[in-house]
Structure 1
Amino acid sequence: MCISVIEHTFIRRCPADKEVVQADVQEFVTKSSMRRKCFILLLLLLSGNIQPNPGPPLDHIGTPNDFKSRSGLGILHINVRSLLPKLDLIKIWVKSTDTDILVLSETWLNKSVPDKEISLTGYNIFRCDRPKKGGGVAIYIKNKFQVSLISSLSVIKQFEFIALKLQMSKDQSLTIMGCYRPPSANSEALSSLFNHVASLNAGEFVLTGDLNLDWLSPKSDNLKSVCDSLNLTQLIDSPTHPNIKNPSKSSLIDLILTDAPHKFTAIGIFANDLSDHCAVATVRNIKLPKTKPRILIRRDLKKLNEQAFIYDLSILKWDRISLIDDVDLAWQYFHDEFLNLINKHAPIRRFRVKGRNNPWFSPEIDNLIKDRDTAWCRARKSHSEADWLHFRQLRNKCTLLIKKAKSEYYLSETSKNLNDPKKFWKTVKSTYEPSQTNDFPNFLTKDGKQLTDKTAILDYFNDHFISAGSVFDSSIPNSGTSALNADAFETTKCPNTQFNFTDVSEQEVLRELKNLDTRKTAGPDKLDTLFLKLAADYIAEPLSVIFNLSFSCRKIPKVWKSAYVLPLLKGGDPAEVNNYRPISKLCILAKIFEKLVSEQLKDYLESNSILSEFQSGFRKHHSTITATLKVLDDVIQALDCKKYCVALFIDLSKAFDTVDHSLLIKIMSNIGISEQAVAWFTDYLSNRSQSVQISDSTSFARETQKGVPQGSILGPILFSIYINNLCHNLPNTSYHLYADDTIIYCCSQTVAQAFEFLQTAFDTFQARLRSLKMVLNAEKTKVMVFSHKREPQEITQVLKTETNKSIEKVNSYKYLGFILDSELSFKRHVASSLHKLKMKLGFYYRNKSCFSLKARKFLVAATFLPLIDYGDVLYMNASSACLQPLNTVYHCALRFVTGCSRLTHHCELYARAEWTSLSMRRYTHWITLVYKTLLGLV
């Protein structure tokens, strides 16, 4: 037994000398023990021919189902040759193998395909696309793992590469690398790839992908030498790119390389219905963390009897509320009674969410997949032409059956739900985006260290969101109140009347309750919108009493000042707290009350013309279009008069989060808000708190000392009041505000004079900004020169901040959703719109078999036309060369709607869809805008 092991070990790298080695071994072993010792020493001296870290022989996994029952970390690689059209097959692969890590090569993706369209439920995706057609790598990894991106590199005509660091335990990590090297890559590509791998100093790693070098061929000697130099072992031992006609020409080009082969227990090569490559898999020996079941905590509505709920509600007596003179006590009484009633009829329960197959996946498809895999195994062993033919027939039949099943399911669902928008859009969304979950991130990075404790993660999130408004305090010069710029606080027009609250009526409360969206979730008070809407007729009266009591007490219930904050990943590394956006959940009844208050406050502001006419944010008859139209009209008039126009686009840092409460109250007093109302607003802003909520876990509450409440109804209005005088009476300039989007511009006969005037106005603006304790974001603030001359002119003038930083000059800027360029050609805006429209078209055509003609028209009208119509009155007079690409994509959308061929004339497309041309749509929008302007509606 020992002899055979020695022979095997010695000859693994010397198969050609096998007979000689066997003879030498027998001769040495049959002699004295001294010679045995010499033999062992000789083996050690010759160990250069021994496989480094050979480890035990790897088990071979026969089928995907065997791979699913593995014990360890499962890694699967598939050369997919275009991911998008095969996404459904990929989902079936993931379901059947339950792989932990899925590496795909030749994804053929580009930036027009968003991550959400190719995402898989329960997995995070990392991708590296080739800038041009073809190539590309993507890695899907289960979201239960702690993983971070180390490297993503695409070298044109050489390779695409991704490296992820997987934290397996506190002291142990594994680097997962995926790569693709095209056949046309030159000899330098291989060395460049592995030089990059070596430069990462990744520790233990596994690299898998399609290198397009046959490991079984002498042509791979260079690759093997590189692997030897890096102490890498190639795990896959049989061809992965079969040649059916000539099996001897089959190649092994899909590789799994690792520097720790002894830690891998098994490999697998499986049939692949995605391309002509086999899928390759391996298992890393490690104890995996258990997958925690996804638990939802929500009310059990299955046994809800609405009639019984209404009956119990009708016998409740609310008379006591009118006898209570404290709003907190009155609210507490209402809340306890109503919440107890809800809990009785719909108690809160914990539900375990089970993974489900695609709704169109049938037992017939499942059985056909098994038959296909069995046929592949048989053909691979026999190399019989007939067996390969049988496999291909089953493979093609399986692919067609999957496409047919999906198309028929969605065609049926979208057609029958056309009259139910909620169900229709839910069905459409399910075609490209898995259900979103508010799950815990596995870890967060703080000061270079990883936070894994739930409580620590929650508190870190809360600290980060709370500090958004205070981190800029150090940027604001410490000046006393006497140094504050008075212009920022004095109103431009003192009203003759004061603002006082008027009692809200029961009918007003009932109206808002009836208009509640039952999809909205409950806030900190646990009162669900479904039950508030059901009970509207019975609770409108006691709620109106509580609302009016709030006015008389000059305070609001304490719980209405609290908020749950949900961290929403914007994109990028999920371990970085800066990549999360806070979404606030407030009490539903608090928002209803705020809406009624805002109606009174808005009426006062508008009737007394307190807000600047050049503030368009959050106001009736104002929009981004009217704001941009006003600015463009001023610029065009100046250019027509042979003037220059210099525009300063100002960005404020965390504007809504830096509102100072005491200054806001002072400004409100100055614009005529009564003492009683000011006391109410003071209480509204003070002692507010927030907690971060993820899944069923909530952080401790922390007080927010700055900013207007996020997600509130009153917040935007209060912000408009706060910055109302920020740009008032700036010398020799014009301005426009839309919330915190600010533009100051100056028109003059010379560029130098325009810059001089603008600098003076900018200095005044910054002084007022400092008075309001707000901070300019100099990096994102830009200046642009509009010129009436066609020839480009060198601009030497610069704008400076208070700290002597130069403001960057640009040739284009995105203002309120429109990309304005210095020539007013709108070419960049149209190009940006085209990119978005083509992404929509790509989704339409990839899923056209899922929608009937009626559903297609409904889909395009709701998602495509708003994009192409948005602000078209601004650029309707652009050159025909600029607008023609929009006509092209519009006609493509019409062909999708009507099902017509590419040869169909556009006039027939208009007739079949019953839509007009784009030029006519723009003209109609322009006429409508003029009409509304004449009537004072805009």
Structure 2
Amino acid sequence: MEIHFRTKKGITPVSHIHVVGRRSTHLQRTARRAANAVNGIFFPSHPPHKAVRFSKGIKRQNTELSIILLSTFRPQDNNESAVTSGLVAHSYSPLDAPFNRTELLAALRNTPYGEAHGPDEVHSEALRHISSKGLRFLLRCINHSWTTGTIPAEWRRATIVPLLKPGKSPKLLEPYRSICLTSIVSKVAEKMVLKRLLWVWTPHPHQHAYRSMLTTTTQLAHLIHEVEHNRNDYFQVNLPKKSGIGNQLHYRPHRTLSVLVDFGKAFDYMERRVLSRLLANIPGVNCRRWLRNFLCGRYAKARVGNRHSDRCPMLRGVPQGSVLGPYLFSLYAHPLLNLLNSFAGVTADMYADDLSIIVKGQSREDAIPTANMVLEKLHAWSRENGLAINPSKCEAAWFTLSTHTESDHDREGKWPLEVAGCKIPVMTMGASRTTKLLGMDLDPRLTLNVAATKQCVATS
């Protein structure tokens, strides 16, 4: 079989495909142009939408990351290495390395549509549809903030919107929960910093919030596990016989005392000096400096309807509604969980700021002193770290299967359960009221029949 190439002088037969010289170069250029044309149709280099002008949102008065630094932030090259070049030399550890494009895209994918914007009025939809050029510019801005520790003023401003808790009276101030609306761009940067922080730190094993695969259900399951474990752990007791002659050996299961502690506005009253001391244990200069500066110099104003209050400084606590706020509180309460779980026969669990203490005991005389000792340590720790216990919302419950429940009732008040100088009501067998843990009604036998009945009534 012969392959012919047609030329101006005629047809030249060849037995092999052998193309050299100028004709080969011309064919390669033609093929390359055709391939580029096809790629331009199916894989456009730039999206057809309009790029977001981040410089407009950053240009503010008294802003560290101002438009003056635009020449420094604007990327001159199209590759990612050019965006992060010049910053790698200042890294002290892998934790301090500049962020890359993959980390930024992961943070943008986790930004939901329709999220309420902050004072900078940059919407999440704009960031989700950002162009390639805007993506490089945003990455350079975040890396500059990360390596220098400079937090833009817009990222430290918040709008507080009061939200009424379900089933509460709107005429009172206590039932309102304050939600801080912060910058969406700041939340994207916080997600990237949080990923780095979780490289070297994880929440406490007894903290059931802000951890993957753990929910309120796991904390309830842990309580049921502890109660059932104590029920199956028997101890010996000698009781007098009915005849009155001699004693008889009996086996009784251990009782479980659960104390539910409520902190008043825990996120708002955290001491930043204590949190700064805890952040000193985190490796990486950039991470520590960025987290400390993130909490400093914050301002907020309240919004009710279309009315706004004056701007006020936030000198304590962490902003609710931010990405890092809950994790910083978990870091703040980490030593507390270590302290409470160090006592024998005591287990402490938390879901966010809701604390539950489980005390194992043979009787009321055995468990109540242990619980009071733990609550005294808790009160001392709270005063040292700026948190306030709300005694009016604290409650306790006995869980047992024994028919001899009269010993649980302290009718004479000889064995009170106290915290911060106030008595805590204790639910016992036969009580008309129940104790709620994370919205779940708990009965003394822990059958969960009351909770199931209420759920059936609510859904019928």
Matching residue within 704, 710, 713 for 2:314 = 704
Mapped partners of 2:362, 2:176: distance in 1: 46
In structure 2, the gaps of 5 or more residues are 1-45, 75-91, 234-252, 429-433
Matching residue within 198, 201, 215 for 1:602 = 198
2:427 alignment partner in structure 1: 810
Query: Which deviations, in whole Å up to 9, do the C-alpha atoms of 1:647-666 show, x marking residues without a partner?
Result: 11111111111111111111
2:215 alignment partner in structure 1: 623
State the SS of the aligned residue for 1:769: helix
Conserved 8 A contact 1:498-1:672: no
Query: Which deviations, in whole Å up to 9, do the C-alpha atoms of 1:749-784 show, x marking residues without a partner?
Result: 222111122211221121111111111111111121
Conserved 8 A contact 2:295-2:318: yes
Conserved 8 A contact 1:327-1:549: no
Mapped partners of 1:572, 1:637: distance in 2: 37
1:690 equivalent in alignment to 2:300: yes
Shift of residue 534, structure 1, vs aligned partner:
2.3
Shift of residue 615, structure 1, vs aligned partner:
1.6
Mapped partners of 1:809, 1:723: distance in 2: 26
Matching residue within 272, 275, 278 for 1:664 = 275
Residue 427 of structure 2 aligns with an amino acid whose one-letter code is V
State the SS of the aligned residue for 2:221: helix
Mapped partners of 2:93, 2:420: distance in 1: 38
Relative distance call for 1:793 and 1:572 in structure 2 (3 A) is: closer
1:640 equivalent in alignment to 2:232: yes
Query: Which deviations, in whole Å up to 9, do the C-alpha atoms of 1:135-156 show, x marking residues without a partner?
Result: xxxxxxxxxxxxxxxxxxxxxx
Conserved 8 A contact 2:96-2:285: no
2:419 alignment partner in structure 1: 801
2:265 alignment partner in structure 1: 654
Mapped partners of 2:207, 2:119: distance in 1: 34
Aligned CA-pair RMSD: 3.0
Relative distance call for 1:819 and 1:502 in structure 2 (3 A) is: farther
1:538 equivalent in alignment to 2:133: yes
1:822 equivalent in alignment to 2:444: yes
Conserved 8 A contact 2:204-2:337: no
Query: Which deviations, in whole Å up to 9, do the C-alpha atoms of 1:315-354 show, x marking residues without a partner?
Result: x899xx9xxxx961269859xx9xxxxxxxxxxxxxxxxx
Shift of residue 522, structure 1, vs aligned partner:
2.6
Conserved 8 A contact 2:64-2:153: no
Residue 815 of structure 1 aligns with an amino acid whose one-letter code is L
Mapped partners of 2:307, 2:420: distance in 1: 45
Number of residue pairs matched by the alignment = 358
State the SS of the aligned residue for 2:397: strand
Mapped partners of 2:264, 2:176: distance in 1: 17
Conserved 8 A contact 1:327-1:546: no
Shift of residue 716, structure 1, vs aligned partner:
0.5
Conserved 8 A contact 1:720-1:739: yes
Mapped partners of 2:441, 2:131: distance in 1: 46
Relative distance call for 1:766 and 1:540 in structure 2 (3 A) is: same
Mapped partners of 2:98, 2:336: distance in 1: 33
Shift of residue 581, structure 1, vs aligned partner:
3.1
Residue 660 of structure 1 aligns with an amino acid whose one-letter code is E
1:752 alignment partner in structure 2: 365
State the SS of the aligned residue for 2:191: helix
Conserved 8 A contact 2:440-2:451: yes
Matching residue within 718, 728, 732 for 2:338 = 728
Equivalent positions of 1:300-339 (< 5 A) are 313=51, 328-329=65-66, 333=70
2:29 alignment partner in structure 1: none
Conserved 8 A contact 2:206-2:337: no
Larger radius of gyration: 1
Mapped partners of 1:501, 1:701: distance in 2: 33
Mapped partners of 1:538, 1:551: distance in 2: 20
1:780 equivalent in alignment to 2:393: yes
TM-score after normalising by structure 2: 0.71
Mapped partners of 1:520, 1:825: distance in 2: 40
Mapped partners of 1:788, 1:580: distance in 2: 39
Task: Give 4+ residue runs of structure 1 displaced > 6 Å after superposition.
Answer: none
Mapped partners of 2:102, 2:370: distance in 1: 54
Mapped partners of 1:527, 1:309: distance in 2: 20
Higher RCO structure (Cα 8 Å, ≥6 apart)? 2
TM-score after normalising by structure 1: 0.36
Conserved 8 A contact 1:689-1:702: yes
Conserved 8 A contact 1:727-1:765: no
Mapped partners of 1:775, 1:317: distance in 2: 42
Mapped partners of 1:620, 1:790: distance in 2: 40
Between Structure 1 and Structure 2, the one with more helix by share is 1
1:834 alignment partner in structure 2: 456
Residue 699 of structure 1 aligns with an amino acid whose one-letter code is S
1:566 alignment partner in structure 2: 161
